[in-house]
Amino acid sequence: MNKVVANAQEAIKGISSGMTLMLGGFGLCGIPENCITELTKTDIKDLTCISNNAGVDDFGLGLLLQKKQIKKMISSYVGENDEFERQMLSGELEVELIPQGTLAERCRATGAGVPAFYTPAGYGTEVAEGKEVREFNGKPHILEHAFNSDFAIVKAWKGDTAGNLIFKGTARNFNPMMAMAGKITIAEVEELVEPGELDPAQIHTPGIFVNRIFKGVDYEKRIEQRTVRQQA
């Protein structure tokens, strides 16, 4: 089955205001740059975005924040974005901060069809407020629920026209889990090939989970904070 669409504009068709989106990546690594940019060209607003982070002020999800298109962020790390901080402190943006492992497991559980699970992470903190607590092996755990996302948007290194995906390096972070979790999954890839050209043993996400795929363009691959060693 050929799942190829022409470009990001065609890939995001069906996304509308008020929807919940999962967006892969960690920091600025492995983020779906093309789809995010295309979303900024629309009038879509009131989005709930599930992502490890909120990008930076002028890149990644920071672009959607600048246009006030995001109503709520569900993230585990948001420390690189001044506009995010401003909107959160002013009450313009609703924020749900959750432990990173819990974020990952809520994504994985969604794709696996697991409605909820117990975890010790966050017990005794604001994270646990209003949540059911049970004790396992003498240790308290809080109940966390799987996500309910309309679309998952991921970015892979290579993919084929049937939707099989390979992620490169640290871009293999939240992308594979989110690819399994969207009602509709969109994948943008750096290299698009025909079925059979990818080594089956190297495929991270089988094409059964992917609904739309396209070859992206002009990837910047920025680094959030470049740290170098001083010369001796």
Helices (H) and strands (E) in the chain, counts: 6, 11
* 214 pLDDT above the threshold of 80: yes
- Share of residues in the chain with pLDDT > 90 (%): 86
Taking alpha carbons only, the member of 218, 144, 165, 227 closest to residue 24 is 165
* 30 pLDDT above the threshold of 80: yes
Tokens read off for 162:
């049937």
**Using an 8 Å Cβ cutoff, are 178 and 154 in contact?**
yes
Fold of 8-114+148-215: Glutaconate Coenzyme A-transferase (3.40.1080)
**Using an 8 Å Cβ cutoff, are 48 and 22 in contact?**
no
Positive or negative CA dihedral for 83, 87, 89, 95? negative
Tokens read off for 113:
């069809």
pTM of this structure? 0.93
pLDDT digits (tens, 9 = 90+) for 81-123: 889 999 999 999 999 999 999 999 999 999 999 999 999 999 9
pLDDT digits (tens, 9 = 90+) for 46-70: 999 999 999 998 899 999 999 999 9
Tokens read off for 71:
């109503």
The pLDDT value recorded for residue 232 is: 75
